[in-house]
Amino acid sequence: MNNFTLEFKHKTQEVLDANPEGFKSIQNFENELSEKDAFKLALRKGAKIPDFTLPNAYGEQTSIKDLYQKGLLVIVFYRGQWCPFCNLYLRNLQKSLSLIQNNPASLVAISPQTPTSSLATKKEFDLDFEVLSDVGGTVGKMFNLIYTVPEYLTKTYKDFGIDIEQFNGKGNIQLPYPATYIIDNEGVILQDFVSASLNKRQDPEEIIHFLKQS
């Protein structure tokens, strides 16, 4: 078991210990999510991604086409700074960034957070890769990754001290499935990882291994 797996195992136990009933409620909802059309229809290997432009953490418009035309691109969809597993994953990606870039490839992370919240995330974890804001989940919907958080689960999150609207903006309680894509310079998905679970992400070592073989 490598460090990445151990870190996620420990974080899962930490969240479980903090609120066992709340964690169980979230897991039950995730089991339902795995049967949803969005999960089954999420973009997968071989599909061409849509062209889109999103603001980065500084409000500057960033074209995804401009990024992937430079070479291989790793796109990560995450839920937000409020999610401890997303934060853990972003930190691990930052640790692996030089190895990703040496292959060579670039990395971009996308969430439904506002640019202000994305900037806070970027600064808190010293992220040296682009963090884009998909407020309202417009791009996430293009990838068939978006789901609506039900009212009972919103209450559960608040029991954890999490107010999603504080990060995403008022009325925005839609989230993406955690997902990682590797894209070629024509915008075609070479590898996909899509999960319905809050505590499952693609190991950065797997990303690096794939990049080396490409």
Letter for the amino acid at 5? T
Letter for the amino acid at 91? R
Letter for the amino acid at 142? M
Domain 3-213 fold: Glutaredoxin (3.40.30)
In the chain, the percentage of residues whose pLDDT exceeds 90 is: 74
Instruction: Quote the CA–CA distance of 63 and 81 in Å, as a whole number.
Output: 23
For residue 94, the Cα-to-chain-centroid distance in whole angstroms is: 14
> Does the bond joining 104 to the residue before it have cis omega, within 30 degrees of 0?
yes
Average pLDDT over residues 17-30: 89
Q: Which of 36-40, 43-47, 109-113 has the lowest mean pLDDT?
A: 36-40
pLDDT of residue 36 exceeding 80: no
pLDDT of residue 145 exceeding 70: yes
For the CA atoms of 125, 130, 134, 139, what is the dihedral angle to 10 degrees? -130
pLDDT of residue 209 exceeding 70: yes
- Residues 6 or more apart in contact with residue 42 via CB below 8 angstroms: 143, 144, 145, 177, 179, 192, 194
At 42 the pLDDT is 94
At 108 the pLDDT is 98
For residue 15, the Cα-to-chain-centroid distance in whole angstroms is: 19
pLDDT in tens, 60-78: 999 999 999 999 999 999 9
* pTM for this predicted structure: 0.95
3-state secondary structure of 187: coil
pLDDT in tens, 181-202: 999 999 999 999 999 998 999 9
pLDDT of residue 171 exceeding 70: yes
Judging by beta carbons within 10 Å of its beta carbon (0-12, 13-18, 19+), is residue 40 exposed, middle or buried?
Answer: exposed
Average pLDDT over residues 57-61: 95
